[in-house]
C-alpha cells in the first residue's frame, strides 16, 4: 500500500514527523523526495506535490493521501476523508481592497475575481447566486486588484498578515482547511488502511495527554479520584504490605500543573508524569 504525502513546503516536515511517530519509519528514499519504503514491508511512501495528491490517489498511484482539505476540494476527484490530522491549518477567503467599495459578496456581481483556486471559487459564487468572472492566476494573487486585473481575490491565509500588508480586507471565509488523510472509496474498508488510520490517530490522541502515576493512602483514595477523574476514572492497584495504593491516570496536559499541587494536598507522594507516544481510545 502506498501513501502519497507532500514532497516539500510547510506540510512536508510535519507529515513525515507524524508518520515516524506512528511507527512508519522511513528506511530509504527520503532524501530523493520521490519514493521511500517504511519499516512495514506492506507500506511505502510516495512523495508528490500537495495539489497532485488527490488525483494520485484517485488514479490508483496510491491508496491513501495526506494533503490539505483545500487541495482536495480544489481537485476534480472525489475521495473519502478518513481523519483530520489537525495541522497545516489555514483558511480560503474572499478579500478586496480595504479602501474600496466591496464589502459583501453581492457587491461583486458582474465583477472579476482572481484566484489560485478556481473550482472552489466558482462553486462558492454559484451557491451565492452571484455572477462573476473567475481569473486563474499562479502566484502573487494579492497584487491583482492593485493592477486592475481583478476586483477581488480568493486566496489562502493563515494569519491575515499578507492580506493586510497588501491593503486587502477580508470579505468572507469560503472554507477552513487542515491536513487530512484521504482514501479512495474502494480501499477505505481495507484492514491495512484501518491500521494506518488508527496508528496516526493514536499519535494525535496522545499529543495533549500525560500519564500520571502516584502513591496515596488508601483512605484518601476518594479525594485522589476527585482530582484525577482521568479517562473513565484512574486505575488503582494495591501496594503489597502497606496501606498505600498506586494510582495511574491519563490526564490533559493543561491540568498537570494544578493537579500535582492538589494531589500533594490530599497526601499523594512519588508523583511521576510522563509523555504518551500513542493512545488508542
Q: Is 281 part of any domain?
A: no
pLDDT value for 228: 85
pLDDT at 241: 87
Domain count, the chain: 3
Backbone dihedral angles phi then psi of residue 99, each to the nearest 5 degrees: -100, 15
| Claim to verify: residue 200 and residue 70 sit in the same structural domain | yes
Look at residue 162 and tell me if it is in a domain: yes
Q: How far apart are the first and last CA of the chain?
A: 25
- Residue 135 inside a domain? The answer is yes
Tell me how far apart the alpha carbons of residues 142 and 95 are, in angstroms, rounded to a whole number.
9
Q: The domain containing residue 183 runs over which residues?
A: 2-88+178-205
Do 56 and 182 lie in a common domain?
yes
Q: Assess whether 165 and 99 both reside in one domain.
A: yes
- Find residue 154's DSSP bridge partners: 94, 115
The pLDDT value given to residue 35: 87
Q: How many Å apart are CA 261 and CA 255, to the nearest integer?
A: 11
- Is the CB of residue 150 less than 8 Å from the CB of residue 112? yes
Query: For the domain that residue 49 is a member of, what is the CATH number?
Result: 3.40.190.10
What pLDDT sits at residue 281?
A: 78
Q: What is the pLDDT along the chain (281 residues), one digit of tens a residue?
A: 999 999 988 999 999 999 999 999 998 755 556 889 999 999 999 999 999 999 999 999 999 999 999 999 999 999 999 999 999 999 999 999 999 999 999 999 999 999 999 999 999 999 999 999 999 998 889 999 999 999 999 999 988 898 999 999 999 999 999 999 999 999 989 999 999 999 999 999 999 999 999 999 999 999 998 888 665 678 899 998 899 999 999 999 999 999 999 999 999 999 999 999 999 87
Q: Give the pTM.
A: 0.87
* In a shared domain, residues 68 and 28: yes
pLDDT, position 230: 61
Query: What pLDDT is attached to residue 113?
Result: 97
| Whether residue 72 is found in the same domain as residue 170 | no
Same domain, 79 and 10: yes
Q: Give the H/E segment covering residue 67.
A: strand 64-68
Q: Which cell numbers hold the place of 93?
A: 477567503
What confidence score (pLDDT) does residue 231 get?
58
Q: Say whether both 40 and 96 belong to one domain.
A: no
Answer whether residue 280 is part of any domain: no
- The number of residues making up the chain comes to 281
Amino acid at each position: 500500500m502506498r501513501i502519497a504525502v507532500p514532497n516539500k513546503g510547510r506540510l512536508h516536515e510535519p507529515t513525515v514527523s507524524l508518520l515516524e511517530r506512528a511507527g512508519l519509519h522511513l528506511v530509504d528514499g527520503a532524501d530523493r523526495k520521490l519514493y521511500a519504503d517504511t519499516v512495514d514491508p506492506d507500506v511505502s511512501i510516495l512523495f508528490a506535490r500537495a495539489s497532485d495528491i488527490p488525483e494520485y490517489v484517485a488514479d490508483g498511484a496510491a491508496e491513501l493521501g495526506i494533503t490539505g482539505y483545500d487541495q482536495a476540494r480544489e481537485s476534480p476527484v472525489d475521495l473519502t476523508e478518513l481523519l483530520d490530522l489537525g495541522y497545516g491549518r489555514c483558511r480560503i477567503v474572499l478579500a478586496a481592497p480595504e479602501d474600496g467599495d466591496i464589502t459583501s459578496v453581492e457587491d461583486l456581481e458582474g465583477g472579476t475575481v482572481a484566484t489560485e483556486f478556481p473550482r472552489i471559487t466558482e462553486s462558492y459564487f454559484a451557491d451565492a447566486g452571484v455572477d462573476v468572472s473567475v481569473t486563474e492566476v499562479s502566484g502573487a494573487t494579492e497584487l491583482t486588484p492593485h493592477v486592475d486585473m481583478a476586483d477581488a481575490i480568493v486566496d489562502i491565509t493563515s494569519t491575515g498578515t499578507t492580506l493586510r500588508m497588501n491593503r486587502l480586507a477580508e470579505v468572507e471565509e469560503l472554507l477552513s482547511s487542515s491536513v487530512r488523510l484521504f482514501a479512495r472509496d474502494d480501499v477505505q474498508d481495507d484492514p491495512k488502511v484501518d491500521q494506518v488510520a488508527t496508528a496516526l490517530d493514536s499519535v494525535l490522541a496522545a499529543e495533549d495527554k500525560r500519564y500520571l502515576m502516584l502513591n496515596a493512602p488508601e483512605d484518601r483514595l476518594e479525594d485522589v479520584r476527585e482530582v484525577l477523574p482521568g479517562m473513565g476514572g484512574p486505575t488503582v492497584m494495591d501496594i503489597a504490605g502497606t496501606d498505600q495504593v498506586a494510582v495511574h491516570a491519563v490526564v490533559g496536559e493543561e491540568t498537570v500543573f494544578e493537579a500535582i499541587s492538589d494531589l500533594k494536598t490530599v497526601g499523594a507522594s512519588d508523583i511521576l508524569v510522563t509523555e504518551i507516544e500513542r493512545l488508542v481510545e
